[in-house]
């Protein structure tokens, strides 16, 4: 990192920037080499100026929330990690109505679910147990068989690559499986940009029934998924064939298969877990082994859902 940028980051962010920061302490897999700088903005203006400076300096940067859908390679990240998990976490009722909830992108999805339950609003229970932040969940159109972000997001506020921040209602959001694209007035469709906050349209519900449903869903997840293990959630996308990645991996006989300290979960085959001392290389070699076996058995190529970054 050039001295001028390092000085700028130190002067502007003070105790909210860390240099040579190990990413293993910020990812749910507990894996990842050091980032040149790890920066924690708390205001939108700070984020705008930071991104502008990094672009002018030609420095690579990536934005992260809870680090739950992320695999950082062992040599780390040459550039800047911008974390929204510390400063962009507020959840509030929207001005537009009692059933609308606005959450900043760094807020935990679990916190939004709890907020909805507290205010007797239905629509978010499908997300109970899905790890990560609002920004990550929206970016991946996170969901289960019970629902997805596409069904509850009413609009987004985003910071685009050209430095413009604007709100986009749902008519400009084109959802897809594990992703979305947006249409800006007078611009090409693109998903490029940083999610600042999302507004959810929910529905009033009986609080007792809502809490009963939530309890049932959480208990089901605890019995079917490696709840306490270090993982990145579901590792592979479900293929277009309509089959599930977990069933394919299980049918290929890969539950419990290990490379180093990385293991295909014995409880749910679409989870790769860190048994304690796995490296990113262990995870990647296990990923490739799973892909090869599933392709050989079913002629289907599994694509990772987890974002892989770094060197």
Which residues carry out catalysis? 178, 234, 305
Task: Report the C-alpha gap between 149 and 52 in whole angstroms.
Answer: 29
Note the maximum CA span of the chain.
Answer: 58
Do 88 and 63 form a contact (C-beta atoms < 8 A)?
Answer: no
Rounded CA separation 126/149 (Å): 9
Distance between CA atoms of 242 and 105, rounded to whole angstroms? 30
CB distance 297 to 49 below 8 Å: no
Sign of the alpha-carbon dihedral angle for 78, 80, 86, 89 = negative
Q: CA nearest 65: which of 45, 40, 92, 47?
A: 40
CA distance 40 to 60: 16
């Amino acid at each position: 990192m050039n001295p001028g940028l390092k000085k700028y980051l130190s002067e502007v962010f003070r105790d909210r920037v860390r240099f040579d920061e190990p990413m293993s302490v910020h990812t749910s897999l507990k894996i990842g080499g050091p980032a040149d700088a790890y920066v924690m903005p708390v205001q939108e203006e700070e984020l705008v100026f930071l991104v502008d400076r990094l672009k002018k300096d030609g420095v690579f940067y990536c934005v992260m929330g809870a680090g739950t859908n992320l695999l950082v390679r062992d040599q780390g990240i040459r550039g800047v990690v911008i974390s929204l998990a510390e400063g962009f976490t507020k959840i509030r009722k929207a001005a537009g109505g009692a059933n609308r909830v606005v959450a900043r992108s760094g807020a935990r999805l679990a916190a939004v679910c709890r907020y909805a339950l507290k205010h007797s609003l239905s629509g978010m229970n499908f997300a109970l147990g899905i790890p990560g932040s609002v920004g990550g969940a929206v970016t991946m159109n996170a969901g289960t068989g019970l629902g997805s972000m596409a069904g509850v997001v009413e609009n987004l506020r985003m910071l685009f690559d050209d430095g413009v921040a604007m709100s986009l209602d749902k008519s400009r959001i084109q959802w897809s499986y594990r992703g979305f694209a947006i249409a800006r007035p007078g611009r090409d469709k693109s998903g490029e940009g940083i999610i600042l906050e999302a507004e959810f349209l929910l529905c009033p519900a009986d609080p007792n029934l809502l809490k009963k449903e939530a309890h049932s869903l959480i208990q089901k997840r605890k019995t079917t998924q490696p709840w306490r293990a270090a993982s990145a959630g579901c590792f592979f996308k479900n293929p277009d064939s309509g089959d599930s990645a977990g069933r394919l991996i299980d049918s290929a006989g890969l539950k419990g298969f290990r490379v180093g300290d990385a293991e295909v979960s014995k409880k749910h085959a679409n989870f790769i877990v860190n048994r304690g001392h796995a490296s990113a290389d262990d995870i990647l070699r296990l990923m490739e082994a799973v892909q090869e076996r599933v392709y050989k058995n079913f002629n289907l190529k599994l694509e990772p859902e987890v974002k892989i970054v770094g060197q």
